[in-house]
Amino acid sequence: MDLHKEDDRGSAKQKKVKIVFVIGGPGSGKGTQCKRIAQQFGYTHLSVGEILRQEISSGSETGSMIQKIMKEGKLVPSDVTVRLLQQAMQGINSDKFLIDGFPRNEENVKAFEDLTKMEPEFVLYLDCPQDEMEKRLLSRNEGREDDNVETIRKRFKVFMESTLPTIEYYESKGKIRKVDAGKSVDEVFESIKVIFSQGKDYNKVPPSRHKCKCLIL
């Protein structure tokens, strides 16, 4: 990724950027927790879902395509998602990014690594039971047209089929930091604070002891 700054002699110098991905099923609390993390630990919070919705609102041809895909509960093509995410990161003068809702699948991972030549410092996984996520989505009443039972359940299915393999991928690299997101907002954040305070030394045990629990759909 072309994230750089000028040194005293005016030549381009690569800027070291720290990235943390935050993933979890729909309604697992990613947005809520990311706002708290950003405030307490000085990260720039980028929500991939919000970036995609902004593109829809722009009325562009890409936005119309994204809207159609999201209505069907499917995933937006990786090249589109990464390009929009890359544009957002390049437009902000920051060296610490908290990326919410990404990657959604293994193709996202490959596209991000190929285009940016970067990897996350670690991946925060908000592990939440499906019935709790469904209850949260149906009660939040934000006026989002994809917050209906049929679409929500499609999104759960997509999450299980597409995102869990990416969790296993990062787990094999020792980068997954999992918290129980079924608890209260404050309790979840207390667990998250431990992770961000201790950084990559947190919970450093062999990947086999970090097995993710698949959602039962």
Q: Is 32 known as a binding-site position?
A: yes
* Cα within 13 Å of Cα(117), Cβ side: 6
What is the model's pLDDT at position 199? 56
Q: Is the pLDDT of residue 179 over 80?
A: yes
CATH architecture of 4-210: 3-Layer(aba) Sandwich (3.40)
Lowest mean pLDDT among 1-15, 26-40, 136-150, 184-198: 1-15
* Average pLDDT, integer, range 26-36: 92
Tell me the pTM: 0.77
Report the chain's C-alpha Rg in angstroms.
17
CA 159 to chain CA centroid, Å, is: 12
Q: Strands 44-47 and 4-6: what pairing?
A: unpaired
Q: CA-CA distance, 55 to 24, in Å (whole number)?
A: 22
Q: Is 108 known as a binding-site position?
A: yes
Q: Is 53 known as a binding-site position?
A: yes
Q: Is 74 known as a binding-site position?
A: yes
122 strand-pairing partners:
20
Q: CA-CA distance, 167 to 194, in Å (whole number)?
A: 20
